[in-house]
Amino acid sequence: MTDRRPLTDLTEEEKMFRDSVADFAEREVQPLVDEMDREQKLDPDLMQKCFEVGLMGIEIPERYGGAGSSFFNAILAIEELSKVDPSVAVFADVQNTLVNNAISRWATDEQKEEYFPKLANNWIGAYALSEPNSGSDAFAMKTRAEDEGDHWRINGTKLWTTNGAEADVYVLFANVDPDKGYRGITAFLVEREFDGFAVGKKEDKMGIRGSSTVELQLDDCIVPKENVLSDVGNGYKVAMETLNEGRIGIGAQMVGLAQGAFDHAMNYITEREQFGQPVAEFQGMQFQYAQLAAEMKTVRLLTYNAARKKDAGDPYKREAAMAKLRGSQVAEKVASQCLEFFGGVGFTKEYPAEKYFRDAKIGSIYEGTTNMQLQTIADMVLEEYE
């Protein structure tokens, strides 16, 4: 039965979980944010701590060593981490909403036995779909998989792979029969140590710099037959349905990012005085932050709604697209205006405003661009009137 309680009402267990993640983010993540952004990599000890507190296997069943919790709790975790550092948030996001969800939905029992205990304990997962000539048109991919009897031989290049520099296993897509178009696309579980697999160039990004984004090279990569995820030729469905879940995660990342930027800015303008009073008390400022607060609230509702529907087993494709669309738009707006609230110091690295501003931009690009979300929403709206 669908959960009908108000979307922003959390159970006591959800509140406790949210608060525990918030405490972890402030205690363990906050002191490392500037260094990780500067060095363009996540702290190795911090990554392991994410496993130790259960943030990397939130929905993995307890029998495999996971937390056995809900998708909604994964969304709460991503939001809380994003308030402090969106780079750490997307590290956990990809693991939970893409990799773990794909395995949960499509893997055999044997594959779950093999990979879930590792992903819950210390293995990092990544999701490899995009290619040099295959972005929004994801299924124009050139990566090929050849059936060689007892194994598959994969050749090709993947780009924009989040978590790729650190990952131990990749949900990777290749076409086994180009003549069939997207019906030839197949999902594979590819381990880092497989022969013929290599991590290539690491991107030098504007934002979420602590999160790795890399090229993957497959040169006669040998993948066991049992590492096909779902059926041969079912990769299109695996990718699309997994990305729908992932877009809710990006919505949560953007909600948290916006809230983090807003909290820092509000703390600043309630203390900063000009013309004999706090900046926050000028009506011109009040109207601006009131508007931002209202827009953040709507995005949080959209995101929570999509997550609740996913957990309830209800259709959520349109809601996921809306959460991702509005989340990225509102995060950019909030991060930009909050930088302005700081005045000149907001344009420096002395305060965190400029980092939130840089981090926000990716929301309109990855896991489906703004135009792709608009197309999804438009198609579903049109269906209602045909």
* Nearest of 310, 206, 207 to residue 249 by alpha carbon: 310
Distance CA 24, CA 307 (A): 22
HSE at residue 159, side-chain half, CA atoms within 13 A, is 12
Distance CA 105, CA 61 (A): 13
Q: What are phi and psi of 359, to 5 degrees?
A: -70, -30
Q: Which of 80, 245, 332, 367 is catalytic?
A: 367
Active site residue 131: no
Contact (CB, 8 A) for 58 and 43: no
Specify the 3-state DSSP secondary structure of 166.
coil
Q: What angle do CA 272, 277, 280 make, to 5 degrees?
A: 60
64-100 b/e (C-beta count within 10 Å ≥ 16 → b): bbbbebbbbbbbbbbbbbbbbbbbbbbbbbbbbbbbb
Q: Say which residue the tokens 């096909």 belong to.
A: 228
Distance CA 277, CA 281 (A): 7
Distance CA 338, CA 296 (A): 13
Q: Which residues are catalytic?
A: 367
